[in-house]
Amino acid sequence: MNEDSTAKTVLIADDERDFLICAENFLKVYTDQIEVLVASNGRQALQILETRKVDLLVTDVNMPEMDGIELLSHLSRKNLDIYVIVITAFATQEMLARLNKVGRFYYLAKPFGMEYFGKEILKALNERTDAYVNQFTLSSLLQLIHMEQKTCTLLVRSNGKTGYLYLRNGELINAETNGNNGLEAAKKIISWHKAETEMQGTCQKEREIHTGLMPILLEANRLADENRSTLTQTDLLEKAIEAVEGHQFKEAKEYLLRLLKLDNRNQKAWLWYSRIAGSLKTIEMALINAVKIAPDDPEIAAEIGHFNRAKGQLQDGHFQRCLFCWFPLEKSCRRCSNCGGHLVIDDRLLQSAPVGDKIILQKTVDRLTRVIDRDKTARTHYYLSLAHLNLANWEDALTHLDKSAKLSPSNKSYAHNLQTLLNHMASTKAVPPKGFFSSQEGADQQKAVRESLVDRKKILVVEDSSTTRKVISITLSQYGYEIIEAGDGLEALSKLNETSPDLILLDIILPKMDGYKILSIIKENPDFWNIPVIMLTSKDGLLNKVKGKVAGSAAYLTKPFDPAQLVETIDKHLN
How does DSSP assign 272-288, residue by residue?
Answer: HHHHH-SSHHHHHHHHH
Could you give the angle at the alpha carbon of 224 between the alpha carbons of 220 and 227, nearest 5°?
A: 140
The answer to whether the CB of 489 falls within 8 A of the CB of 446 is: no
C-alpha distances out from residue 519 to 119, 457, 482, 533, 546, Å: 73, 20, 21, 8, 14
The percent of residues above 90 in pLDDT, for the chain, comes to: 25
Q: What is the pLDDT of residues 291-319, one digit of tens each?
A: 999 999 999 999 999 999 998 888 777 89
Q: Classify residue 180 as exposed, middle or buried by CB count within 10 Å of its CB (0-12, 13-18, 19+).
A: middle
Q: What is the pLDDT of residues 97-108, one digit of tens each?
A: 555 554 445 677
Q: What is the pLDDT of residues 45-83, one digit of tens each?
A: 888 887 888 888 898 888 887 877 888 777 766 655 577
Q: What is the mean pLDDT of residues 525-553?
A: 68
CA gap 401, 381 in Å, rounded: 6
Quick check: helix, strand or coil at residue 484? strand
pLDDT higher than threshold 90 for residue 365: yes
pLDDT higher than threshold 90 for residue 286: yes
Neighbours of 465 (CB within 10 A): 15
Q: What is the mean pLDDT of residues 366-389?
A: 88
pLDDT higher than threshold 80 for residue 130: no
CA gap 259, 235 in Å, rounded: 9
pLDDT band at 436 (very low <50, low <70, confident <90, very high): very low
pLDDT band at 229 (very low <50, low <70, confident <90, very high): low
pLDDT of residue 309: 92
* Chain centroid offset of residue 546 CA: 48
pLDDT higher than threshold 80 for residue 153: yes
pLDDT of residue 439: 40
* Strand partners for 39: 13
pLDDT of residue 528: 86
pLDDT of residue 473: 87
Alpha-helix runs per DSSP H in 230-263: 233-245, 249-262
pLDDT of residue 133: 35
Q: What is the mean pLDDT of residues 167-187?
A: 90
Q: What is the pLDDT of residues 22-47, one digit of tens each?
A: 888 888 777 777 888 999 988 888 88
Q: What is the pLDDT of residues 387-431, one digit of tens each?
A: 999 998 988 999 899 888 888 877 888 888 888 888 888 764 333
0.95 surpassed by pTM: no
| Nearest of 189, 184, 109, 176 to residue 142 by alpha carbon | 189
pLDDT of residue 62: 82
pLDDT of residue 104: 46
pLDDT higher than threshold 50 for residue 504: yes
pLDDT of residue 573: 85
C-alpha distances out from residue 23 to 53, 55, 128, Å: 20, 17, 21
Q: What is the pLDDT of residues 181-195, one digit of tens each?
A: 899 999 999 888 777
- Structural domains in the chain, CATH included, are 1-144 (3.40.50.2300), 151-230 (no CATH), 233-303 (1.25.40.10), 347-407 (1.25.40), 440-574 (3.40.50.2300)
Quick check: helix, strand or coil at residue 500? coil
Find the range with the poorest average confidence among 208-217, 417-426, 495-504. 417-426
Alpha-helix runs per DSSP H in 328-438: 347-350, 358-374, 378-390, 394-407, 412-426
pLDDT of residue 95: 57
Q: What is the mean pLDDT of residues 198-210?
A: 86
* Chain centroid offset of residue 399 CA: 14
* Strand partners for 177: 163, 180
pLDDT of residue 451: 47
pLDDT higher than threshold 50 for residue 150: yes
Q: What is the mean pLDDT of residues 526-543?
A: 75
pLDDT of residue 475: 84
pLDDT of residue 476: 87
pLDDT higher than threshold 70 for residue 509: yes
Residue 111: is the preceding peptide bond cis (ω within 30°)? yes
Find the helix or strand (DSSP H, E) in which 184 lies: helix 183-191
CA gap 114, 59 in Å, rounded: 15
Averaged pLDDT score across all residues of the chain:
81
| Nearest of 83, 4, 74 to residue 45 by alpha carbon | 74
CA gap 219, 55 in Å, rounded: 31
